[in-house]
Structure 1
Amino acid sequence: MKDLVVDPSIVANLCCGIKHNIILSWKAAPVGFLKLNVDGAMLKNDLIGGIGGILRNSERKQLDIFFEPIRQGPPILDELLALKYGLEAFSNLNSGLNMQLIVECDNKVAVEWILNPMKFPSSFVSLVRIIAELIRTKNVLLRHILRVCNVDADVLAKKGIG
């Protein structure tokens, strides 16, 4: 612990890149892929929320963004709606691009529900099935990332709140 105080670069090394297979900063998609980062945000009273996302290519070029307000609901709903909206937008955009997609979301529960259909509650069954079907039919790679890697999508989700 004393080394952290003496050498601040140790902290910098922990905050950037990959450490123990945990991604700690946003990375561009590999060549031939697009990357979609999505997020949802909900005000504390759960009465209004927003969703947002950003689609970029392997050169970090922004291809598309979205941000929208959403209705009241539990916080997990905003994450699922962001995934659905982003996947649908990509499906419409990708007709001429023919690229493979990586989707990143900072909500571990939402990602687990999509990847393991036995884990989600019945109240979300139709929404989770729609998202899972979009991922399956479009051969999308879905993965959980840390919130610090999803800052741009978070800003857009908060912009969706208004």
Structure 2
Amino acid sequence: MATLNCLIRFEPKPKPKQSLTHAFEMSGGDRSLNVTQLSYKLLNIYALVLFDMMKVAAILWVIWFSWNEAVWGNIIPSLSSMQSHVDATCLLWMQAYGQAGGSRTGSNPPVWSPPPAGYLKCNVDAAIFTNGAGVGVVVRNEEGKFVAAYGAKLNCFNDPFMAETMAVKEALKWLKINHFNNVILETDCLNFCSAFNSVALNRSYVGLIVRQCRVLASDIGNFCVRHVNRSVNHLAHVLPRATDSMSGLGSRFTVPPTCISSLIDA
């Protein structure tokens, strides 16, 4: 009976609870611990907006993404790059899921605006065809006047992100050859903008092309990349689709190509 009582009263010693920090340390070592500390700082920065569930989801996604980069890619992000990743992710989600709501309110889509005095604005877009892809580049000045355009075919896989990245690289090569500077480049590919402006090292093939874009951009001078809505990028959106039927278009200066001439403000 005494033995039975001992068996009945026996309670296994509870296992200590594992904190998030401890879990990261055990699975990734010092690299994950660094990311964990950055993650806590990131949460403190956004502490006032944690009621926003979209922001919460973006923060958790960036923490998880950064932790995987540290463990599997030996890449430690900076706090600023994590913040940029959070903001870019929120913007991407708002554009993907907020357009339907925006259209119900009757708000007008954003439109193209001229660059500051002394600058050129270069809009770039890519189009994918069954036999490859095309790039369209349109340059306008501070008065909104047409300066130059370029259209060409691209040899790339049926991958939108790859096509957009190669389109920007082709545009940068063209801008450099024609000695353009003081350029604001606009594209509606948020993934490229995030990759180009990020300090994180991307070892993929697309990441290699993005690094090549940075090198080309450094040779142009006073250059930056901005993300814009598709409606803002309309001219560059039309141009590459014409390259599939107009033998690549090539370079045009002063006089715009026929396919976009009616769309440019007088």
Structure-2-length-normalised TM-score: 0.48
After the TM superposition, which residues 1-80 of structure 1 pair with which residues of structure 2 at under 5 Å, given as runs? 11=106, 14-15=107-108, 24-43=110-129, 47-73=131-157, 74-80=159-165
RMSD: 1.9
Please say if residues 48 and 161 of structure 1, whose CA atoms lie closer than 8 Å, have aligned partners that are also in contact: no
Determine the C-alpha separation between the residues in 2 that align with 1:103 and 1:58: 14
After the TM superposition, which residues 10-159 of structure 1 pair with which residues of structure 2 at under 5 Å, given as runs? 11=106, 14-15=107-108, 24-43=110-129, 47-73=131-157, 74-94=159-179, 99-118=181-200, 120=202, 122-137=204-219, 138-159=221-242
Alignment-mate amino acid for residue 160 of structure 1: T
Determine the C-alpha separation between the residues in 1 that align with 2:145 and 2:174: 17
Please say if residues 106 and 150 of structure 1, whose CA atoms lie closer than 8 Å, have aligned partners that are also in contact: yes
Q: CA deviation at 1:30?
A: 1.4
Alignment-mate amino acid for residue 77 of structure 1: M
Q: CA deviation at 1:117?
A: 4.5
Q: CA deviation at 1:40?
A: 0.4
Alignment-mate amino acid for residue 224 of structure 2: L
Alignment-mate amino acid for residue 55 of structure 1: V
Partner deviation per Cα, 1:44-93 (whole Å, 9 max, x = no partner): x5x42111110111111211111111224111122112211212222222
Please say if residues 154 and 167 of structure 2, whose CA atoms lie closer than 8 Å, have aligned partners that are also in contact: no
1:114–1:62 CA distance, 2 compared to 1 (3 A): same
Determine the C-alpha separation between the residues in 1 that align with 2:127 and 2:201: 23
Task: Give the number of the structure whose residues are more often helix, by fraction.
Answer: 2
Determine the C-alpha separation between the residues in 2 that align with 1:160 and 1:114: 26
Structure-1-length-normalised TM-score: 0.77
Gaps of 5+ in 1: 1-9, 17-23
Query: Who wins on radius of gyration, i.e. which is larger?
Result: 2
Determine the C-alpha separation between the residues in 2 that align with 1:117 and 1:107: 18
Greater RCO structure (CA 8 Å; 6+ sep):
1
Determine the C-alpha separation between the residues in 2 that align with 1:121 and 1:112: 15
Partner deviation per Cα, 1:117-142 (whole Å, 9 max, x = no partner): 52645122331111012223423111
1:146–1:121 CA distance, 2 compared to 1 (3 A): farther
Task: Give the number of the structure whose residues are more often strand, by fraction.
Answer: 1
Gaps of 5+ in 2: 1-104, 246-266
Q: CA deviation at 1:155?
A: 0.6
Please say if residues 202 and 208 of structure 2, whose CA atoms lie closer than 8 Å, have aligned partners that are also in contact: no
1:154–1:120 CA distance, 2 compared to 1 (3 A): farther
